Amino acid sequence: KARRRLRECDVGDKFSRLALPKASVLLPLLLRDGRLHLLLTVRSMQLRRSPGEVCFPGGKSEASDKDEIDTALREAAEEVGLQPEKVEVICRLVPGIDKMNNLVTPVVGFIEDTFQATPNPDEVSEVFVVPLEYFIKPLNYKALSYRASSGHSTLMHCFIYDDQEQKKSFKIWGLTAHFAVFLALVIFGERPTFEVDYDLDNLILSAENNFISLYASIYERKKSNL
């Protein structure tokens, strides 16, 4: 069912030719105890940008990458030792734009529950999993109002997840939370317990419209700066 819903939302290369630097993240889904979970990482404290923040495996596109899927798989292999052949890639979802104005494409794939991450310490300090349902029915959530440098105003989700296995809490917010929420909405088709910026009766169309207005606001600012 999850595969079918995701394939219906596949944007393919629809946004690939937009005039922004490209990046991709892998949203690795796994089935554990009959529930879908999402694998996340914590960025190394040695990194210059966003050290210690929770994110998905991913990074900037390189010239040798064929497409966004290639980028996401290469980065996941480099960061957590997840080999491309161990990922069943399902789709690309509506992209986002990070604070560096990179066009970030989320690539969704299924992995085996038995996968043992081997984090690259230069990039990743920890790896953990969260039940996907947490991103529509969280126990600890707050919404932050966020105004981008382009002047575009949006709602930013912030989740605190208490990991029982690791006996610690993780803060999941920003673009990572944005992608996780959208993924959960697509798969479960349920209303979340908090407000979202989407028309839930037309989820894909409203997600694309939100993205296009965000892109337009950045593009207009670029033109006015020129």
pLDDT in tens, 45-92: 887 787 789 999 999 999 999 999 999 999 999 999 999 999 999 999
User: What residue numbers bound the domain in which 42 lies?
Assistant: 1-225
Please say if the pLDDT value at position 36 is more than 80: yes
**Beta-carbon contacts of residue 159 (< 8 Å; ≥ 6 apart):** 134, 135, 138, 140, 141, 171, 172, 173, 177, 180
DSSP H or E run through 32:
strand 22-32
What is the spatial distance between Cα 138 and Cα 134, in angstroms, rounded to a whole number?
5
Question: What whole-number percentage of the chain has pLDDT above 90?
Answer: 81
Number of domains into which the chain is organized? 1
What is residue 75's three-state secondary structure? helix
Query: Mind listing the pLDDT tens digit for each residue in 130-145?
Result: 999 999 999 999 998 8
The pLDDT assigned to 148 comes to 66
Query: Mind listing the pLDDT tens digit for each residue in 38-54?
Result: 999 999 988 778 778 99
Query: Over the range 65-94, which residues count as b (16 or more CB within 10 Å of their CB) and which as e?
Result: bebbbbbbbbbbbebbbbeeebbeebbbbb
CATH for 196: 3.90.79.10
Strand partners of residue 41: 55, 127
Instruction: Provide the whole-model pTM.
Output: 0.94
